[in-house]
Amino acid sequence: MLTLLQVTKAFGGLTALDDISLAVAPGERVALLGHNGAGKSTLMKIVLGLIAADRGRIAVGGHAPGSRAARAITAYLPENVAFHPALTGLETVRHYLRLRGEDARKAGDLLDRVGLGAAAGRRIGTYSKGMRQRVGLAQALIGHPRLLVLDEPTSGLDPVSRRDFYALLAELAAEGAAILLSSHALTEVEARTDRIVILSGGRLMANDTLANLRRQAALPIRLQVSARPGAADEVAERLKGGRRNGVVVDLSCAPDEKLDRLGAITALGPMVEDVEILPPSLEDLYTHYSRRPS
């Protein structure tokens, strides 16, 4: 549904996107992650045809970005949606339906779909940020888009609103929509997207499933060994390299050394009370992939 091939964009002397290639298939949810200024919004603007790439090829459902055919199948939710505060949710969505040349009577159904049915008749000025974001999503869903481009759609939403938001995205993906959304938090998109793309300084640092990214990064695993009272010094010494902290001995090892290390720990028999295996955190993984290119 969306393909970018060797896309490059510079602003003056600053390369905002450097040779980016990626694709989003129908039914796929792809998270675009990156630090401030990594190039996420620039990439989205190019996909929408709002700005042109300097080099590279982009196709939206086979069409040029920004073309009538591409716009007809694309929906966009900007990071900060702004609607007229004096209009109700219903009036607002009706307005966008008319702009799209669609039947304004569909507004009620769209608002129901994003969980705003009960508040549809209230002025948007009285809505919370999460409710305004839902109006934005209702607007984005007009015309059954096949590609959704969502710029930090959950920033400022509480955990329950986020969960509802991702549940709706899952439904849309199940119906075949391709979804590209940007976020700052790997923890948030972890279980809710199918693939992770990490940009840093305009370069593509990662583009894979979380499981594969974990495997490829091969970050060290921590083992926390709890020693029996009085045995911590000996456990630390026998497990070489362990750092003692009270009765707990901390070890770190590469993923492929884990079983050997566990074998050495169990060989200590009654000196050991328990062992905790701590895989690298999502923050560790994100830091690993988002190290800025020098």
Ligand X SMILES: Nc1ncnc2c1ncn2[C@@H]1O[C@H](COP(=O)(O)OP(=O)(O)OP(=O)(O)O)[C@@H](O)[C@H]1O
Applying CB under 6 A, the residues found at the interface with ligand X are 11, 14, 16, 34, 36-42
Closest distance to ligand X from the beta carbon of 34 (Å) = 5
Cβ distance to ligand X smaller for residue 79 or 250: 79
Nearest distance, CB of residue 287 and ligand X, angstroms: 16
- 38 or 251, CB closer to ligand X? 38
Closest CA to 67 of 47, 39, 94: 47
Q: Which is nearer to ligand X, 82 or 174 (CB)?
A: 82
CB of 6 to ligand X, least distance (A): 18
**Residue number with CB closer to ligand X (14 or 167):** 14
Whether residue 124 contacts residue 83, with contact meaning beta carbons closer than 8 Å, is answered with yes
Q: Distance between CA 40 and CA 92 in Å, rounded? A: 28
In terms of CB distance, is 196 or 251 closer to ligand X?
A: 196
Which one-letter DSSP state was computed for residue 118? G
- Residue 58 or 225: which CB sits closer to ligand X? 58
- The dihedral formed by the CA atoms of 176, 180, 183 and 185, expressed in degrees to the nearest 10: 60
Beta strand spans in the chain (E): 2-11, 14-24, 29-34, 55-60, 74-77, 147-150, 178-183, 195-200, 203-208, 221-227, 243-245, 248-253, 272-278
Burial of 121 (0-12, 13-18, 19+ CB in 10 A): exposed
Partners of 2 in the β-ladder: 24, 60
